[in-house]
Amino acid sequence: MAREYIWEVPVRVTHWVNVITILALSITGLYIGDPFAQGADEHSMLMGKMRFIHFLCAYIFIASLIVRVYWWFVGNKYARLDQFIPVSGERWKNLIDTALFYGFMKKDLPHSPGHTGLAGLTYFFLMILFVFEIMTGFALYSQSHAGGAIWTLLGGWMLPVLGQGMIRFLHHIIMWLIIVFVIIHVYISVHNQLIEKNGLVWSIFNGYKNFQDSHHH
């Protein structure tokens, strides 16, 4: 067994900050859209608190994404942008071989110390979904927050184009798409760890993966 350090601190921290804030954003968002609980009395301001948590987590989530995008350019080779957008022949081959593996058409996963080609590209599409969620979020935000041009720029311009009903709908749909991603993502992570015995799930906590020596170079 060879142990290799793959995920640097910012990759791991942003991962878990995203997990926690997305969980809080989904719970508070569902409440905002369809209040499922009542405050103890008329002074409890439950909706106000939910909205406050939603907006606070939105800002933390955005900050985390900015840090992670910065790390595309300064991080180690497993964290860089070219691990997400396949530009080299090697990454394309890895992507296709991974897809064939998941389609039961290939026996082994290609050796990928960092993200597989398929995982990287999936995370890139996920990041695009995050950006749309943020833009539709700021479109809704611009309705209730003074500040003018900045909220218009970040998403408010979509209000007259799509209408607020469509924007709420998109904000919901993207949440559900993210939730579908998470279910599959957690399933694959746990499944790969059990099959490959590579410590994959631990890697996103401690940074290290284990490889059979025959693969290591």
Residue 15 lies near ligand HEM (rule: CB under 6 A): yes
Q: CA nearest 11: which of 66, 59, 60, 71?
A: 71
Residue 106 lies near ligand HEM (rule: CB under 6 A): no
C-alpha count within 13 angstroms, C-beta hemisphere, residue 130: 21
Residue 126 lies near ligand HEM (rule: CB under 6 A): yes
**One of 24, 29, 94, 95 touching ligand HEM (CB under 6 A):** 29
Residue 140 lies near ligand HEM (rule: CB under 6 A): yes
Contact assessment for residue 15 and residue 204, using Cβ atoms and an 8 Å cutoff: yes
CB of 139 to ligand HEM, least distance (A): 8
Query: What are the φ/ψ torsions at residue 185 (nearest 5 degrees)?
Result: -60, -45
Query: 3-state SS of the chain: helix, strand, coil percent to 5?
Result: 70, 5, 25
DSSP for 162-196, written as a single string: H-HHHHHHHHHHHHHHHHHHHHHHHHHHHHHHHHH
**One of 53, 95, 118, 134 touching ligand HEM (CB under 6 A):** 134
Residue 91 lies near ligand HEM (rule: CB under 6 A): no
- Binding stretches for ligand HEM (CB under 6 A): 11, 15, 18-19, 22, 25-26, 29-30, 32-33, 51, 54-55, 58, 61, 68, 79, 115, 119, 123, 126, 133-134, 137-138, 140-141, 168, 171-172, 175, 178, 182, 185-186, 189-190, 200-201, 203-204
